[in-house]
Amino acid sequence: MTALAANFSRRSMGDDAMLVLALAIGVAASTHIYQGSLCAINQSGYLVPASADASLHVVGVAEDEADNSSGSAGALSIRPRKGPHYLTNSSSTDAITDADIGRWCYVVDDNTVARTSNGGARPAAGVVAGVDSFGVLVEVGTHPAGADGAIDVLFPAGADLSTTGQFLFVKLNGSSQIVLADTAG
């Protein structure tokens, strides 16, 4: 799939005005965000189209276009909408299926999500809510932690872990699967 090169009327679920972030976020310098783009905040705190850059934090989908191509950082701002949005599914072995519902998916570009983080190279886009003919329904935006600060995340096991015992350290492998951590990890 490809990143957006024009405005796109993105299909979403629900029409709750509370899903729009309360504050507008400044757009990064030399940046063009199209309507319908999956948006992220960069390390400088400015909004950019989401991409396969692990330093980005996805916050929502742009409801409006913001062409700050010739402007300085923060010269324009928009309010991304969080919540369930349909995004394009990645192709081949990284495609999202019904088996991934309830699991995190990852940004390929501002229009496309994939099943894996590509070895930690992609930021999380959100949680998969469904897969159908419209694409992948992703719960996009900030996900609050529990009272203890923990976030429940589901990952598939990369091996049978049922016979190895309890309370062992695990890690994510390059395919975003849980495996036993070795003594070096």
Tell me the residue type at 119. Answer: G
Q: What is the pLDDT of residue 47?
A: 95
pLDDT digit string, tens, across residues 29-50: 999 999 999 999 999 999 999 9
Which burial class, exposed, middle or buried, applies to 27 when counting CB atoms under 10 A from its CB (0-12, 13-18, 19+)?
buried
Element (DSSP H or E) covering residue 47: strand 47-49
Q: Assess whether pLDDT exceeds 50 at residue 17.
A: no
pLDDT digit string, tens, across residues 157-168: 777 877 777 778
DSSP-assigned beta bridge partners for residue 139: 84, 127
DSSP string, 65-116: -EEETTSPTTSSEE-PBPEEEEEEEPPGGG---GGGTTSEEEEEETTEEESS
pLDDT digit string, tens, across residues 48-73: 999 999 999 999 999 999 999 999 99
Q: What is the pLDDT of residue 13?
A: 61
- Kindly state the average pLDDT of the residues 145-155: 53
pTM of the model: 0.71
CA distance between the termini of the chain: 35
Tokens 């886009």 sit at which residue? 125
| Nearest Cα to Cα of residue 108 among 121, 93, 127, 92 | 121
Q: What is the pLDDT of residue 19?
A: 45
Q: What is the pLDDT of residue 4?
A: 75
Q: How far apart are CA 173 and CA 2, in angstroms?
A: 26
